Amino acid sequence: MTMRGTIMASLVLSSLIPAWFVSCKKQSEGEEIRPPSRSSGQHKRRGAKKRSRDHRTLIIESGEKIFARVVHVVDGDTIHLRTEKDNLLIKGRLSGVNTPECHKVRVKTLEGKNSAQCKSDDEAGGLDAFVFLKKRIYGKRVGMDCIKKGNKCQMGRFGRPLVTVFLGPTDVNQELISRGHGFTFTKYPSPRRARYCQAEFAARKAKVGVWRLGETVDDVLSLMSAKTRRWYKKHDALCRESIQGR
């Protein structure tokens, strides 16, 4: 090969090496940072594993006490808890109490997960109920019980376990009612109904929470949605029956 041919071959080879190196580097970098395709089996397996870890049914043996950390408060009666037993994420609905509704926004939970959180009133007192509950239990270790079906927690209509939360000896569900931030939810049966009803009647008399917003029960209910007013029609009669043990 002539000197000229040797020089030309060297130039061609030197021009190809950087391109080949960059191409390989890009491919390598892409493999490191590119997430698995949503259609890939790897992505589906990872997602399924995460869902099973966070949404397995909580098993509570007879007489067993469950403790958890409150990692998120959605509104006045919906919370997320991370259990000490099995490290489960429980999206629980407080049992036996119904708080006024509120408008929600998207936020991050204590664990960095996306969720909704109360921002302003939809019904009168909705934001106050949320603020009270969040100050009371957010980030804290609480005791937890639930309405059981066998040894499993009973689920509400949206697939959330129906839970009662305790801060020390205090029944937080009942405390919401006694502070006037919630109503005894007589739409559904509850083993604690009589006690909760008594707490609500006392809150009415003391004019605390939402009960300070009107002279009569009807005045306060006029600030609630038609849905709330409908289920509340039989509220007092059901409360009296429960208190009297009928």
Instruction: Domain ranges for the chain, please list them.
Output: 58-243
Report, as an integer, the average pLDDT of 51-55: 45
Residue 42 sits at φ, ψ, to 5 deg, of -60, -45
| Percentage of the chain modeled with pLDDT above 90 | 66
Q: Which band of pLDDT confidence, cut at 50, 70 and 90, is reported for residue 234?
A: very high
Return the number of other C-beta atoms located less than 10 Å from residue 65's C-beta: 10
Tens of pLDDT along 8-40?
555 444 454 444 444 444 443 333 323 334 333
Mean pLDDT value of segment 116-138 = 99
Specify the range with the lowest mean pLDDT, choosing from 48-62, 132-146, 160-174, 175-189.
Answer: 48-62
* Dihedral sign (CA 147, 150, 152, 158): negative
Class of domain 58-243: mainly beta
39 φ/ψ angles, rounded to the nearest 5 degrees: -90, -5
Any residues with CB less than 8 A from the CB of 95 and at least 6 apart, and which? Answer: 146, 147, 162, 163, 164, 173, 190, 192
Lowest mean pLDDT among 10-19, 36-45, 164-173: 36-45
What tokens does 80 get? 């997320």
3-state secondary structure of 224: coil
Q: Which residue has the tokens 């209910």?
A: 221
Mutual orientation of helices 193-206 and 235-243 as an angle, nearest 10°?
Answer: 120
Pick from 129, 149, 143, 132: nearest CA to 59: 149
Q: Is 139 exposed, middle or buried (CB count within 10 Å of its CB: 0-12, 13-18, 19+)? A: exposed
- In this prediction, residue 210 carries a pLDDT of 99
pLDDT, position 166: 98
State the pLDDT at residue 24.
Answer: 42
> Sorting pLDDT into bands at 50, 70 and 90, what band is 148?
confident
DSSP annotation of 85: S
Rg (CA), the chain: 28
Decide if 190 contacts 96 (C-beta within 8 A).
yes
Locate 41 and state its tokens. 């089996």
Taking the C-alpha atoms of residue 97 and residue 38, their distance in angstroms, rounded to an integer, is 40
pLDDT of 57 reads: 67
Does the predicted TM-score (pTM) go above 0.75? Answer: yes
Question: 121 exposed, middle or buried (CB, 10 Å; 0-12, 13-18, 19+)?
Answer: middle
* Statement: residue 207 has pLDDT above 80: yes
Nearest Cα residue to 229 out of 175, 194, 200, 187: 187
Average pLDDT over residues 195-210: 99
